[in-house]
């Protein structure tokens, strides 16, 4: 790895925040099973419940009157949270937008796909029509922000339409948490998935947040009474402690970070267009996460580009990071009608430790990669 390596793949995983490290070390030094009734167990339980409070606050799910946020169910990550949400209520018919994460699209068999427009925004008319014709209980799955393009979905409007037809709504908020202000009540969703490592917490920790804290859930993992019988197994105390600590810092810094990262992203895109005028920025015409840019240059394969950046010490990605290390055309961009450009897309995602020099380095390497592509075409 070059000494001047630049990390621009925060949407895959963010570097661990120091606050998360400190919280995890304290938790690792705390002896006790959270389910034990003695003092050691109660100390561990306190860490879990404090983390539950913080995660609820991150997404505006704190109950009125100061009650404990019983609707937060800790999981091993976002993928498990999505799977639990889509099986929790026994509703076998799932409608999902075409740009959902694979952990949603593959959570159950026969997920029905809802189209999106050329910017990657869900077609609300198609949703209305599908629900009007539906028979039996339905769950609608729509993410808050896309992991590849950063495009933000009209989740509150989706929830309004879905609830009018008696459908439940699940929202994958994995990429949005810590980057956008989230108020679960205003979104109107029934369940919401989160993942710690996307916002500077540890890998292996996540949560499913239930709007109805008393809802009965069919657990994926059975065998114990943990998490109010919604997810068996001893809680990952260091993981959830780190998750909560990272969430608290992200929430405190959110507004300033969004402004700063938006400026960096906009400069990155402007410079990319300057050095390679044929560059396409996906979703540029709609609201996006401030940290995410998905770029493509016709004739330049994503695999070649990612390898070129990596050799120069710049970490970017092509599509989702959940494909066993493979670089393949994006189903998200294909759903947006990108055609051949889907195989040329590179995702750049900034984060809490990104600086101006990172953008400078990206543009330097992008100009070189684009120039090599132009030379080979000639």
Which residues are tagged catalytic? Answer: 322
Can you say whether the dihedral through the CA atoms of 98, 103, 108, 109 is positive or negative? positive
- Residue 361, phi then psi, degrees to nearest 5: -65, -40
Give Rg (Cα) of the chain.
21
Give the pair of three-digit tokens for residue 243: 């998750």
Question: In 3D, which of 246, 237, 197 has the Cα closest to residue 58?
Answer: 246
β-bridge mates for residue 294, sequence order: 347
What is the C-alpha separation between 349 and 315, in angstroms, rounded? 10
CB atoms < 10 A from the CB of 169, how many? Answer: 26
DSSP string, 280-311: EETTTTS-B-TTEEEEE-TT--HHHHHHHHHH
What is the C-alpha separation between 240 and 48, in angstroms, rounded? 7
Residue 164's H or E segment, with its range, is helix 155-164
Burial class (CB in 10 A: 0-12, 13-18, 19+), 249: buried
What is the C-alpha separation between 113 and 103, in angstroms, rounded? 14
């Amino acid at each position: 790895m070059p000494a001047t390596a630049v990390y621009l793949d925060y949407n895959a995983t963010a570097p661990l925040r120091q606050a998360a490290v400190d919280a995890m070390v304290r938790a690792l030094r705390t002896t006790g099973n959270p389910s034990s009734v003695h003092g050691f167990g109660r100390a561990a339980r306190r860490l879990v419940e404090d983390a539950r409070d913080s995660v609820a606050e991150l997404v505006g799910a704190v109950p009125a009157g100061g009650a404990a946020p019983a609707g937060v169910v800790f999981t091993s990550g976002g993928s498990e949270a999505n799977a639990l949400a889509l099986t929790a209520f026994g509703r076998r018919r799932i409608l999902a937008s075409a740009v959902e994460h694979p952990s949603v699209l593959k959570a159950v068999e026969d997920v029905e796909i809802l189209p999106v427009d050329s910017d990657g925004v869900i077609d609300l008319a198609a949703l209305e029509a599908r629900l009007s014709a539906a028979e039996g209980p339905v769950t609608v799955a729509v993410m808050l922000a896309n992991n590849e393009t950063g495009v933000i979905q009209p989740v509150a409007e989706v929830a309004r339409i879905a609830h009018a037809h008696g459908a439940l709504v699940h929202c994958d908020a994995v990429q949005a948490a810590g980057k956008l202000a989230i108020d679960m009540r205003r979104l109107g969703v029934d369940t919401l998935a989160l993942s710690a490592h996307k916002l500077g917490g540890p890998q292996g920790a996540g949560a499913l947040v239930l709007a109805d804290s008393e809802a009965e859930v069919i657990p994926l993992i059975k065998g114990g009474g943990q998490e109010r019988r919604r997810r068996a197994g001893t809680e990952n105390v260091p993981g959830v402690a780190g998750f909560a600590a990272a969430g608290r810092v992200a929430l405190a810094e959110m507004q300033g970070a969004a402004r700063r990262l938006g400026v960096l992203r906009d400069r990155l895109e402007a410079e990319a267009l300057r050095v390679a005028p044929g560059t396409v920025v996906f979703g540029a015409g709609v609201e996006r996460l401030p940290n995410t840019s998905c770029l493509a240059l016709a004739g330049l394969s994503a695999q070649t580009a990612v390898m070129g950046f990596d050799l120069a010490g710049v970490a970017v990605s092509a599509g989702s990071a959940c494909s066993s290390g493979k670089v393949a055309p994006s189903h998200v961009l294909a759903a947006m009608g990108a055609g051949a450009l889907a195989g040329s897309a590179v995702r750049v995602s900034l984060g809490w430790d990104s600086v101006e020099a990172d953008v400078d380095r990206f543009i330097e390497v992008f100009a070189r990669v684009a120039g090599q592509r132009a030379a080979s075409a000639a």
